[in-house]
Amino acid sequence: MPTLGDSLRRYVQEMLPKLEQRFQSREDLLLLSREVIRYAGEAISLSHRGRRNEAVQKFDMAKSKLREVSERVKAFPDLLYGDVGTAYQEVSEAAAVLSIYFDLPLPSPEELGVPESYYVLGMADAVGEMRRMALELLRKGKKEDAERVYQTMEEVYSVLWDLEYPKALVPNLRQKIDYMRRIIEETHHDIFIAEAMR
């Protein structure tokens, strides 16, 4: 009869190829996810500078790399955390930013290939970029355009607020909703000051 040590050694030897494959997939996923995050961030930055074609190109690159991420996650679903989850959020955030800057249709989670919870968190993050847009419009004296962006911020907040309960529906959403409310109030104040100074 084999000892416990003998049995364990055999089981570990059988597991080793899959563990090595999982380790390599994790390393590949981290590299891919960081590329996605970089491309999505560049798409957002280019949007703020009004460079539509370049922004769309970077966004397409982010989506392409995200498809590679999704293929690898299928084999090891437990690796969907950390930078991998952030990659999904960043693509969702970039989609919202491009939509508001360039009047493009907002893609659905299915169209982006993003899990629903990460899509929602990405939309919440986009409100911070909308504030940046509103402030730049105010700086240029375009108060009406800034008010339009502010109204969009309010709409996003209203839609996502309904998902706050139960809290487990979208983990970590509560903190983002609190942050959204604060920057929306700050943006409203900035618009009010701009109007008062006219």
Q: What is the CATH number of the domain that holds 87?
A: 1.20.58.2140
Residues 11-42 pLDDT 10s: 888 888 887 887 888 888 999 999 999 999 99
Same domain for 40 and 86?
Answer: yes
In 17-104, DSSP assigns E strands to none
Residues 93-128 pLDDT 10s: 999 999 999 999 999 999 999 999 999 999 999 999
Residue 168: inside a domain, yes or no?
yes
Residue 119: inside a domain, yes or no?
no
Q: With helix as H, strand as E and coil as C, how does 87-145 read?
A: HHHHHHHHHHHHHHHHCCCCCCHHHHCCCHHHHHHHHHHHHHHHHHHHHHHHHCCCHHH
Same domain for 62 and 151?
Answer: no
Residues 134-158 pLDDT 10s: 999 999 999 999 999 999 999 999 9
Asked if 131 and 182 count as a contact pair (C-beta separation under 8 A), the reply is: no
Higher pLDDT, 168 or 62: 62
Same domain for 46 and 95?
Answer: yes
Answer whether residue 131 shows pLDDT above 90.
Answer: yes
Region 2-9: what's the mean pLDDT?
85
Instruction: Name the maximum alpha-carbon separation found in the chain.
Output: 90
Answer whether residue 167 shows pLDDT above 70.
Answer: no
The amino acid occupying position 10 is: R
Among 72, 94, 114, the domain-final residue is 114
Residue 161: inside a domain, yes or no?
yes
pTM attached to this predicted model: 0.88
Whole-number Å distance between alpha carbons of 102 and 22: 40
By residue range, what is the domain housing residue 71? 1-114
Domains in the chain: how many in total? 2
